[in-house]
Amino acid sequence: MVENIYLSGYLDRNQMYKMSFIKGVITGLGGVIGATIVVGLLLWILSLFDTLPLIDQLTDKLERTVQSQK
């Protein structure tokens, strides 16, 4: 589709590169924001469980790490 637009002459090469760069930056930023939200929600959900046998050690370690960073 972009090839057809370029070949038809509606966009010059510099404008196409600029649009591709901006699209890449926005995509990367969205990925970082999305991953931050997912990790935050995961940590919040894990903090709700205090005594799960297999996850208890992991949540204690994560809680100590978060508390030491404050």
Per-residue buried b or exposed e for 8-23, using 16+ beta carbons within 10 Å of the residue's own CB: eeeeeeeeeeeeeeee
Q: Is the pLDDT of residue 12 over 80?
A: no
Domain ranges of the chain: 2-69
pLDDT tens digits for 29-64? Answer: 999 999 999 999 988 887 787 666 777 777 778 888
pTM for this predicted structure: 0.55
Distance CA(47)–CA(32), nearest Å, equals: 22
Q: What pLDDT score was predicted for residue 32?
A: 97
